[in-house]
Amino acid sequence: MTTAIQLAGVQKRYGATRALDGVSFDVRRGEMFGLIGSDGAGKTTAIRLMCGLIRADAGQVRVLGRDPVREHRHVTERVGYLSQRFSLYGDLTVDENVAFFAEVHGVRDYHRRRNQLLEMTQLAPFRARLADRLSGGMKQKLALVCTLVHQPELLLLDEPTTGVDPVSRREFWKLLSEFLSQGITIVMSTPYLDEAERCTRVALLHEGRLLASDDPSRLRAAAEGTPSLEDVFINLLAKQVAS
């Protein structure tokens, strides 16, 4: 199976707000897929649907071939989810935070995996430190470790780099590349277009509508004379407003 996630004609409303309005796109296995859009675009809604935390009003969502609401357990065992307002337990140490998330996922034998992940993220020297006393970038890396402790095939990351300093952002991306090379599929949402450029494919969202979904270089090539992805996005928005 080469498709990791499928959204087909997905609609989700909150009262009068159309959080997602007929959105369709696929995420392929092994890719780094970006959900790109500004505030209120529908990024979190899309990710929550993929996790099976909410149900679509219409359309279909499939994750690793399953319905994430009906087959919630099957999906959550294979998915690592980092929510937008993810919070670590500040009064627990680095080690204890990872242990907590391992236990939530029912992973008993997590010590080797924890050591490996802490080494990889260069958090090993800080394992006895309280999470509250870590820097912002270190907290984000620890959050990533917590989502990976049950060895998921698919990572769903909701704005993991928002508010993170540029150096830590670069480090975070390096880690993501390593996980990709291990065969993990990654979907991440971001408002940053420079991050969109680094994805294999992206979905550009605005106010619940899908403006485009493709490889960033193909999106740039299709919009003649528009060199940056930011221009592509703005042009697509202008077209939508005009139509």
Ligand X SMILES: Nc1ncnc2c1ncn2[C@@H]1O[C@H](COP(=O)(O)OP(=O)(O)OP(=O)(O)O)[C@@H](O)[C@H]1O
Question: Which residue ranges make up the site for ligand X (CB under 6 A)?
Answer: 14, 17, 19, 37, 39-45, 84, 191
Residue 144 neighbours by CB under 8 Å, 6+ apart: 82, 121, 157, 160, 172, 175
- Among the listed residues 36, 44, 146, 149, the single contact to Mg ion using CB under 5 A: 44
Q: How far apart are CA 196 and CA 190, in angstroms?
A: 8
Residue 122 or 162: which CB sits closer to ligand X?
162
Question: SS3 of 224, please?
Answer: coil
Minimum Å distance from CB 12 to ligand X? 8
Residue 111 neighbours by CB under 8 Å, 6+ apart: none
Contact region with Mg ion (CB under 5 A), list: 41-49, 59-67, 109-117, 170-178: 41-49
Residue with tokens 């106010």: 207
Minimum Å distance from CB 57 to ligand X? 12
Residue 45 or 97: which CB sits closer to ligand X?
45
Helix axes 136-148, 111-120, angle to 10 degrees: 140
Residue 46 or 79: which CB sits closer to ligand X?
46
Q: Do 206 and 213 touch, CB atoms closer than 8 A?
A: no
How big is the CA angle at 175 (ends 115 and 52), to the nearest 5 degrees? 90
Minimum Å distance from CB 165 to Mg ion? 20
Residue 177 neighbours by CB under 8 Å, 6+ apart: none
Interaction partner, residue 37 (ligand X, Mg ion, none; CB < 5-8 Å by kind): ligand X
Q: How far apart are CA 155 and CA 176, in angstroms?
A: 10
* Element spanning 9, H or E: strand 3-14
Which residue sits closest to Mg ion, CB atoms considered? Answer: 44
Interaction partner, residue 157 (Mg ion, ligand X, none; CB < 5-8 Å by kind): none
Minimum Å distance from CB 134 to Mg ion? 23
Q: Is 121 in the site for Mg ion (CB under 5 A)?
A: no
Question: SS3 of 107, please?
Answer: coil
Question: How far, CA to CA in Å, does 99 sit from each of 123, 129, 201, 202?
Answer: 15, 14, 34, 34
Residue 41 or 164: which CB sits closer to ligand X?
41
Minimum Å distance from CB 20 to ligand X? 8
Residue 44 or 97: which CB sits closer to Mg ion?
44
Interaction partner, residue 39 (Mg ion, ligand X, none; CB < 5-8 Å by kind): ligand X
Q: How far apart are CA 193 and CA 211, in angstroms?
A: 14
Minimum Å distance from CB 86 to Mg ion? 12
Minimum Å distance from CB 64 to Mg ion? 23
Residues that bind Mg ion (CB under 5 A): 43-44, 84
